Amino acid sequence: MTEALRLPVVDLSSPDRVSAAVSIRQACMEYGFFYLVNAGVEKELFERVFEESKKFFSLPLEEKMRVARKQHRGYTPLYAENLDPASSSKGDSKESFYIGPLEETTTPFNLNQWPSEEVLPSWRQTMESFHRKALSAGQRLLSLIALALNVDEDFFQKVGALDKPLTFLRLLRYPGELGSLDEEIYGASAHSDYGMVTLLATDGVPGLQVCQEKDRQPRVWKNVLHLDGAFIVNIGDMMERWTNCLFRKKEKGAAILLLSNICLLFVGELGSLDEEIYGASAHSDYGMVTLLATDGVPGLQVCQEKDRQPRVWKNVLHLDGAFIVNIGDMMERWTNCLFRSTLHRVMPAGKERYSAAFFLDPNQDCVVECLESCCSESSPARFPPIRSGDYLKERLRLTYAS
């Protein structure tokens, strides 16, 4: 049985700021995680975020791919991310949607992408409202964190971290149906195409199979090999009708999906089926602090000692109306490892799960340098100063390998 972690609860609205700072210090030294209550986000807004998030992820893949991730904003499909490539060659079993800073930091225009207003009329407004409130909570929380580190309450403002900070809201959906590990995973499960004809371009990696007799059991699947410079053409359902079944559509399972005529999505390396599938594989967050809203479905686990083997994982339970806050790697550097950026992951719960993670990271030009209050003769600075933007860019490059 996995043990549940009893995390401290910090009240953001408490008039006793010193006590709040003391409990933050203890929580960040021991766990790198705590609950934050009275953060100024109404329960009703948490619920609306999950409702709207569910509406988006329920759209057909083709509609979601209209806002596919560009410049770290927009939709990333199942298996597109792998937070821990060392433990699993499959991507993580989650789909997500990223919303970057509402006030852009570098470009004159905003790079955020939004689902069509006709399809989801109140979606953007709900997410923007949540984004702003999470930022406001994060800023207030950082002044308590500064107190907890024995520096001025406005330390993070003074070093420029909160002047147009890098803020990303990541909406997440972990599908329930992949919970069981003995189910087979398909790049694309058996189907026929709906239309007239499909022209399919392949990259030489095998995977496409057809079954010529769909009504005979067990089904017999044959590989369709790639031919350099050629399209693989297949007949769709409408052509089958037209030809009164003279021309036959075939069922096929492929690792490539053809989305409209323009968009080819490579689903990713699925590896062998005996590897474990994670909702989100083991990782620490890159930035300053993360404020996480969860929907009550379990799955989040933390490992307090990342270097001890075997790793011991403990559950982090949902607390109604609270954010789960965790410290990121940049804050760990800032505090010379006094505050811990703890390894965490999401295990499949056998049930669909939604969460919304708000990453509050310093302005890209802010230099992150070990705090004097966290260094001593016996514990000298462990990291050289680094520009926040350079650090984040490298971490993102490693995660997305792009």
Ligand X SMILES: O=C(O)CCC(=O)C(=O)O
Which parts of this chain interact with ligand X (CB under 6 A)?
Answer: 170, 172, 280, 285, 292, 294, 300, 344, 346, 355, 357
Residues 255-259: contacts with CB under 8 Å, at least 24 apart: 255/187, 255/188, 255/205, 255/207, 255/208, 256/187, 256/188, 256/200, 256/202, 256/203, 256/207, 256/208, 257/61, 257/187, 257/188, 258/193, 258/198, 258/200, 259/61, 259/62, 259/65
Question: Residue 158 is inside which H or E element, if any?
Answer: helix 155-158
Residue 159 binding result from Fe ion, ligand X, none, given CB thresholds of 5 to 8 Å by partner type: none
Give first-to-last CA distance, the chain, whole Å: 38
In the complex, minimum distance from the CB of residue 260 to ligand X, in angstroms, rounded to a whole number: 29
Question: Residue 146 is inside which H or E element, if any?
Answer: helix 123-148
| Helix-strand-coil split of the chain, %, nearest 5 | 25, 25, 55
Judged by beta carbon, residue 336 or residue 355, the one nearer ligand X is 355
* Joined tokens for residue 96: 């997500």
Virtual CA dihedral for 8, 12, 16, 20, nearest 10 degrees?
A: 30
Residue 172 binding result from ligand X, Fe ion, none, given CB thresholds of 5 to 8 Å by partner type: ligand X
What contacts 170, CB < 8 A, 6 or more positions away?
A: 96, 97, 98, 99, 356, 357, 358, 359
* Joined tokens for residue 229: 């410079």
Alpha-carbon gap, residue 148 to 23, rounded angstroms = 8
Alpha-carbon gap, residue 202 to 182, rounded angstroms = 28
Residue 346 binding result from Fe ion, ligand X, none, given CB thresholds of 5 to 8 Å by partner type: ligand X
Residue 294 binding result from Fe ion, ligand X, none, given CB thresholds of 5 to 8 Å by partner type: ligand X
What is the residue type of 144?
L
In the complex, minimum distance from the CB of residue 366 to ligand X, in angstroms, rounded to a whole number: 21
Judged by beta carbon, residue 154 or residue 394, the one nearer ligand X is 394
In the complex, minimum distance from the CB of residue 22 to ligand X, in angstroms, rounded to a whole number: 26
Residue 291 binding result from Fe ion, ligand X, none, given CB thresholds of 5 to 8 Å by partner type: none
Applying CB under 5 A, which part among 26-34, 73-81, 191-199, 281-289 lies near Fe ion?
281-289
* Joined tokens for residue 286: 């890159």
In the complex, minimum distance from the CB of residue 357 to ligand X, in angstroms, rounded to a whole number: 4
- DSSP secondary structure letter of residue 366: P
Judged by beta carbon, residue 81 or residue 240, the one nearer ligand X is 81
Judged by beta carbon, residue 137 or residue 291, the one nearer ligand X is 291
Judged by beta carbon, residue 355 or residue 388, the one nearer ligand X is 355
Q: For the chain, how many residues are written?
A: 402
13, burial (CB in 10 Å: exposed 0-12, middle 13-18, buried 19+): exposed
In the complex, minimum distance from the CB of residue 285 to Fe ion, in angstroms, rounded to a whole number: 4
Residue 20 binding result from ligand X, Fe ion, none, given CB thresholds of 5 to 8 Å by partner type: none
Applying CB under 5 A, which part among 135-143, 169-177, 178-186, 283-291 lies near Fe ion?
283-291
Instruction: Indicate which single residue of 95, 193, 285, 295 sits in contact with Fe ion (rule: CB under 5 A).
Output: 285
Judged by beta carbon, residue 240 or residue 285, the one nearer Fe ion is 285
Applying CB under 5 A, which part among 71-79, 84-92, 214-222, 284-292 lies near Fe ion?
284-292
Judged by beta carbon, residue 147 or residue 357, the one nearer ligand X is 357
In the complex, minimum distance from the CB of residue 342 to ligand X, in angstroms, rounded to a whole number: 10
In the complex, minimum distance from the CB of residue 276 to Fe ion, in angstroms, rounded to a whole number: 18
Instruction: Tell me, by CB under 5 A, how many residues bind Fe ion.
Output: 1
In the complex, minimum distance from the CB of residue 296 to ligand X, in angstroms, rounded to a whole number: 11
What contacts 2, CB < 8 A, 6 or more positions away?
A: 301, 313, 314, 315
Nearest residue to ligand X on Cβ basis: 355
In the complex, minimum distance from the CB of residue 285 to ligand X, in angstroms, rounded to a whole number: 5
Residue 329 touching Fe ion (CB under 5 A) = no
Residue 332 binding result from Fe ion, ligand X, none, given CB thresholds of 5 to 8 Å by partner type: none
Residues at the interface with Fe ion (CB under 5 A) = 285
